[in-house]
Amino acid sequence: MDMKNHQHMRLTPQRQVILEELGKVKSHPTANEVYDMVRKRLPRIGLGTVYRNLELMAENGLILKLEVGGTQKRFDATTDLHYHIRCTTCGKVDDIKLEVIPQINKVASDSTDYEILSHHIEFSGICQECSGSETYTSTN
C-alpha cells in the first residue's frame, strides 16, 4: 500500500455540500459566504468545519485558494490558472478571460534570486454595478 503525496479525504456530507455549493457559483466566495450557502442545507454545520475543509481541499487541489488582495481569503472551484479582477468599490472578485502568460515566469527568473513557482495577475477596476451605468445587463 504505497501512499501518494495525495492524501485520502473522506467525502463527508459536509465536504460534499461545500464542494457542491462552491461549484454552483461563478463568484469567488469568502469562507463566510460559503458557510452561509452551506448552512441552508446543513443548518448545524460549524464555521470551523467550513474553514478546515476549505483549507484541506485547497491543499489537495480540489479547489483554489485565491491569493488576492483584500482582507479575506476567497475560494474558487475552478482550479486551473486564470487571472482575476477585483472591484475597488465593492470588493467583488471575478475571473478575467485573459490568456495566461506562462513564459512570464521564465522571464522573471532572470531578474530575481528567488526560485519562482508561480505568478498571478490581479486587475483592479470598477464593476458595472458600482459604476452605476448599466447600459446592458451583466451576467453577474
Instruction: Please report, as ranges, the residues that interact with its own copies according to CB under 8 A.
Output: 67-70, 83, 85, 87-88, 94, 96-98, 104-105, 107-108, 111-128, 131, 138
Q: Choose between 41 and 95: whose C-beta lies nearer to its own copies.
A: 95
Least separation in angstroms between CB 17 and DNA: 9
Q: Are 120 and 129 in contact (CB under 8 A)?
A: no
Least separation in angstroms between CB 72 and its own copies: 10
C-alpha to C-alpha distance for 102 and 87, rounded to whole angstroms: 25
Residues 19-48 that bind DNA (CB under 7 A): 30-32, 42, 44-48
Residue reference for cell 482575476: 84
Q: What is the DSSP string of 4-48?
A: -SS------HHHHHHHHHHHH-SS--BHHHHHHHHHTT-TT--HH
- The residue within the footprint of DNA, chosen from 27, 51, 62, 92 (CB under 7 A), is 51
The yes or no reply on residue 86 touching DNA (CB under 7 A) is no
Q: Which partner in its own copies, DNA, none is near 9 (CB below 5 to 8 A by kind)?
A: DNA
Q: Choose between 16 and 119: whose C-beta lies nearer to its own copies.
A: 119
C-alpha to C-alpha distance for 93 and 90, rounded to whole angstroms: 9
C-alpha to C-alpha distance for 91 and 8, rounded to whole angstroms: 35
